[in-house]
Amino acid sequence: MFVAQSQTPQSSRIVVKGALIDTSGTPLPSATVMLLLPKDSSLVNFGRSNDKGFFEFKNVKRQRYILKVSYVSYIPLQKDVIPTDEAVLDMGSLALKPITKELFEVVVKTAKAPLSIKGDTIEYNAASFKVPPGSTVEDLLRKLPGMQIEQDGSIRAQGMEVKKVTVDGKSFFGSDPKQATKNISADAIQKVQVFNDKTEAAKMTGVDDGKKEKTINLELKESHKKGGFGKVTAGIGTDDRREIKGNYNKFDSKNQFSVVGNANNTNQSGLSWDDYQDFRGSQAFSWGDEADFGFGGNGFRFITFDDGDESLGIPIGGSRDGFSKNYSGGANYNYDTKKTKFSSNYYFNQTERTIDKISSSQRFFQEKSLNSADTTNQVNFNANHRMSLRFEKTLDTLNTLVLIGNGKYSRGNASQFSNILQQLLVQNSIIPRQTNINNSNIFDSYTFQGTGIFRHKFAKKGRSFSASAGYSLLKSDGNANQRSINKLYNATTLNDSIVAIDQINDNLSNKKQVKSSLFFVEPLSKIFYWESFYNFSIQNNSVNRDLLDRQDTGPVRNDSLSRYYTNDLMYNRLGSSIRYSNKGMNITVGLAAQQFNLKGDFRRSENSANLANINLNYFTWIPKIGINWDLKNNRYLFIDYDKNTREPSVRDLQPIVDNSNPLYLRVGNPDLLPSIQHTISAGYNMFNPASFTNLYANLSYNYNINQVVYNQTIGDNGVILTKPTNLSGGTTYNGYVGFGVPLKKTVSTLNINANFNLAQNPIYINSVLNKTNTNSGSIGMRLSFTPSDKFTFYGNASLGLTKTSYELPTAPNQTIYNNQYGGEMNFNFGKEFYFASNLNYRVYKNETRGFTQDLPILNLALYKFLGKSKRSEIRLTAYDVFKKNLGVNQSAFQNFVTIDQTRTLSRYFMLSYTYNMRGLSSQMRKKNMF
């Protein structure tokens, strides 16, 4: 039994109830029951019948309705609801007929209900949920009961995070749902299906691992399944702001072709979320391409080089701090059949960004503290060429081969000028100094990754074998100029008062890796499975850094700061686990033996004597315990224990000083040990399909052994030297809970969430162990109000608090607030005129430092659709009406607290024109067929 709303005055509200049976009189439980308005079949209320087939709607308006009932394998039932003078309208027993071949056509014609619920699958008829012209799938999802769009665009359905979005059942948009939902227009969608899918590992092995991946499938209209679609936008604004972007896509059941282009000076440095997926197609993210088989460990990692400019991925994202000019473009082609899948793309992007930043920080020591005020100006240029290929061939019913190749070439340059004023406080004395840094660099690099995966299924159900091999290569060649002048105002002599650095840094880096992995699954019975895996990897790193001092006679090599090092990492991991899978209960218990050997040496130059040798042999056991329990009725519970280990990085091992920042020197430690992390996590998820109420909660605990922390030592002149070391004892507690409930079905929904993070971070300060406690949490709310297609409103609020306490006597505890309030509104004036507004009010506060910053960012837009087909749009937009936009970041951690403020693109107005290509009409295709 379900309850729609509480009872209101009987004169204007009634109760509608009844019972559902089949032709034999058997009750039909969990049938989908809906009330629709006769004029346009829009959804008013919905629910499900109880175990005895009864349904009831309370507190509905006294007016005519259409009652729609759907049940699996039965013909949908439709009845007129005509209220009487009574407070309760009993529809009596309503019989549904089973589907037969003769009645199939009738079922097809009558099955277009706003939504239907079949087990854990909910199917929405997109036409029943009205959104303004030009809306995206994201706008459509916001209208659907049980769906929640977070502030960052991520999606929750039935309380669970959506992991995948497919189009017509294919992985056309990969595993990042934000990109898909922001890209496709809502008018292209016929149905939205939400269901729990199995993981790729479970599909490959045929063994249910108990893990659910909430998935959305977008079923396209016939008019968009063939032909081309896309859009082009051009805009011109005040302050010489300009943008032009466009994409075109053409695909059928086998072929997908896309082109995209973008040029602007409005801080859109990468592809927008709106355009990314149109371009990448099914290669956006390739599911099931994981080549590292087995559980846990984290030591066996395929080199992704995904750190900053070395990333192989196509840059995605909106506005960033600073001011940038951006150009990008590319082409993509995919071929997809039942047995053969081929994907390819090329993409180019170029960004020139100017950053003006002011930073204020304090760093605390036992008897000293260091205050810094830093003004920085940076100009960065980066250009990248990327290519990707993927080929998948189903050799026969038992064998599959996957080949993947990715490559990238990058070039760029950067310049930085910083004026740093510092005060070193020693007891009651203040020691001032000033540093000017003027650094620049240029670089070229290229990266390649190749992977092969072979999968074999045996004739025996559940038995399978997989093998993978991979090769990675990264080469980088850079040249940097390091210039700085340090003025020490308390110096006793003139020679000590000014310390200058003028150096050239030539850096050549090479990384290579060869790896392989094997995986075998053997069914021991119908409910027990044995899984075994083996991982092997060889990795080589080499760096040749020549640092030269500029002198009157020319550059002279600085042997004390130059370095050359190589290291080789050989990795082996062998493991097994037993999986129990029966009636929704999945339990995994496993153990792996993990071993690696790290060898290397560090020299001043390639031919000089060794400064340090590394020969680290390490062995550990990696246990795994996992429980996934389907409690039925859309309730899920999981508990996991994992142990992860990671070898020290090359940068942390090298024992030569890095003086890129003369105030903050770094030196490595060749005696580092691998770090270990123990993690226990648990979670619960519940969704009620009758009331569309959801609840989800997650808890986790982490304990670190030999984690790498950076010992900080401050000299008499205030220069800080950091050196990594191993420390045990760092702990973290995390928690998250969310609750969602419709205030009025199909009209208003409220979602509330809260999270916390309790962390204890040990660190050595001047060789003395100290601990810093950082406790943070936030509570948020999102309200959607969509009474009609003429007006929509989405409100949100988030209150965040961070408290940081230090053991150091010189360090005052920090209380930091990061609050955010926002709202989005869209209003239809009629005659295709629309008004949209977006307010994002951010409040930053640090009580200890007396810092407060309020940033009300308001965007307004007035737009109109032109023509009968509404393919053209003209829009006038005002960005940041109050001219308050500013990049702000504040944090407190370990022994420091800092506040950054960065100038960024502020108020401007833009007039833009957009033309949408929305596929061929079905009528046109029919004419062309004859």
Q: How far apart are CA 154 and CA 214, in angstroms?
A: 12
Q: How far is CA 495 from CA 558, 716, 719, in A?
A: 21, 17, 17
Summarize pLDDT for 14-52 with one digit per residue, the tens: 999 999 999 888 999 888 888 888 877 777 888 888 889
Asked whether the CA dihedral 485, 490, 492, 494 is positive or negative, the reply is: positive
Q: How far is CA 838 from CA 320, 674, 793, 877, in A?
A: 18, 48, 10, 11
Strands 585-603 and 43-48 turn out to be unpaired
Q: Which range is least confidently modeled, 155-169, 569-583, 740-754? A: 155-169
Structural contact between residues 155 and 144, judged by C-beta atoms closer than 8 angstroms: no
Q: How far apart are CA 542 and CA 509, in angstroms?
A: 6
Mean pLDDT, rounded, for 799-808: 92
The pLDDT value given to residue 39: 78
The pLDDT value given to residue 705: 94
pLDDT over 80 at 859, yes or no: yes
Structural contact between residues 401 and 395, judged by C-beta atoms closer than 8 angstroms: yes
Q: Which range is least confidently modeled, 202-216, 296-310, 480-494? A: 296-310
Q: How far apart are CA 621 and CA 676, in angstroms?
A: 11
Mean pLDDT, rounded, for 862-885: 91
Mean pLDDT value across the chain:
82
Compare 591 and 157 and report the one with higher pLDDT.
591
Confidence at 580, pLDDT banded by 50, 70, 90: very high
Q: How far apart are CA 467 and CA 292, in angstroms?
A: 9
Q: How far apart are CA 370 and CA 362, in angstroms?
A: 6
Mean pLDDT, rounded, for 675-701: 89
pLDDT over 90 at 77, yes or no: no
What single-letter DSSP state applies at residue 281? G
What single-letter DSSP state applies at residue 30? T
Summarize pLDDT for 201-223 with one digit per residue, the tens: 666 666 666 667 778 888 877 77
Nearest CA to 686 among 160, 156, 121, 198? Answer: 160
The pLDDT value given to residue 830: 86
Structure tokens that stand for 804 in this block: 């940081």
Render 478-541 in DSSP notation, one character per residue: EEEEEEEEEEETT-SSHHHHEEEEEEEEEEEEEEEEEEEEEEEEEESSSSEEEEEEEEEEEEEE
Element holding 109 (H helix, E strand): helix 104-110
The pLDDT value given to residue 756: 96
Compare 755 and 330 and report the one with higher pLDDT.
755
pLDDT over 60 at 315, yes or no: no
Nearest CA to 856 among 893, 819, 829, 828? Answer: 819
Helices (H), 432-550: 494-497
Structural contact between residues 60 and 11, judged by C-beta atoms closer than 8 angstroms: no
Nearest CA to 384 among 303, 305, 315, 480? Answer: 315
Render 136-160 in DSSP notation, one character per residue: BHHHHHHHSTTEEE-TTS-EEETTE
Q: How far apart are CA 263 and CA 232, in angstroms?
A: 12
Please compute Rg for the chain using Cα positions. Answer: 31
Summarize pLDDT for 99-123 with one digit per residue, the tens: 765 444 544 444 456 777 776 778 8
21 by Cβ neighbours in 10 Å (0-12 / 13-18 / 19+) ranks as middle
Summarize pLDDT for 494-524 with one digit per residue, the tens: 445 667 888 888 888 899 999 999 999 999 9
Structural contact between residues 171 and 197, judged by C-beta atoms closer than 8 angstroms: no
pTM of the model: 0.78
Nearest CA to 166 among 176, 158, 156, 157? Answer: 176
Summarize pLDDT for 364-398 with one digit per residue, the tens: 888 888 888 999 999 989 898 989 888 999 999 89
The pLDDT value given to residue 270: 56
Confidence at 661, pLDDT banded by 50, 70, 90: confident
The pLDDT value given to residue 652: 86
Nearest CA to 83 among 182, 12, 162, 170? Answer: 12
Q: How far apart are CA 720 and CA 657, in angstroms?
A: 12
Residue type, 343: S
Q: How far apart are CA 323 and CA 241, in angstroms?
A: 11
Compare 790 and 302 and report the one with higher pLDDT.
790
The pLDDT value given to residue 205: 61
pLDDT over 90 at 263, yes or no: yes
Q: Provide the β-strand partners of residue 885.
A: none
Structure tokens that stand for 790 in this block: 């003429």
Mean pLDDT, rounded, for 882-892: 92
Element holding 484 (H helix, E strand): strand 464-488
Structure tokens that stand for 823 in this block: 């709202």
Q: Percentages helix, strand, coil for the chain, rounded to the nearest 5? A: 10, 65, 30
Structural contact between residues 620 and 676, judged by C-beta atoms closer than 8 angstroms: yes
Q: Which range is least confidently modeled, 560-564, 854-858, 889-893? A: 560-564
Phi, psi of 436 (to 5 degrees): -115, 125
What single-letter DSSP state applies at residue 905? -
Q: In percent, how much of the chain has pLDDT > 70?
A: 84
475 by Cβ neighbours in 10 Å (0-12 / 13-18 / 19+) ranks as middle
Phi, psi of 201 (to 5 degrees): -65, -40
Mean pLDDT, rounded, for 879-894: 92
Structural contact between residues 667 and 721, judged by C-beta atoms closer than 8 angstroms: yes
Q: Which range is least confidently modeled, 3-7, 226-230, 272-276, 486-490? A: 272-276
Q: How far apart are CA 130 and CA 124, in angstroms?
A: 12
Structural contact between residues 186 and 221, judged by C-beta atoms closer than 8 angstroms: no
Compare 14 and 651 and report the one with higher pLDDT.
14
Residue type, 221: K
Mean pLDDT, rounded, for 559-578: 89
- Coil, strand, or helix at residue 729? coil
**3-class SS string, 563-588:** EEEEEEEEEEEEEEEEEEEECCEEEE
Summarize pLDDT for 158-204 with one digit per residue, the tens: 767 787 777 766 655 444 555 456 556 777 788 888 887 776 566 66
Strands 887-893 and 498-523 turn out to be unpaired
Structural contact between residues 740 and 694, judged by C-beta atoms closer than 8 angstroms: yes
pLDDT over 60 at 300, yes or no: no
| Residues near 652 by beta carbon (within 8 Å), at least 6 away in sequence | 668, 669, 672, 708, 724
Structure tokens that stand for 94 in this block: 């309503």
Calculate the dihedral angle through the C-alpha atoms of 152, 158, 159, 165, rounding to the nearest 10 degrees: -40
The pLDDT value given to residue 163: 75
Structural contact between residues 467 and 518, judged by C-beta atoms closer than 8 angstroms: yes
Q: How far apart are CA 157 and CA 808, in angstroms?
A: 46
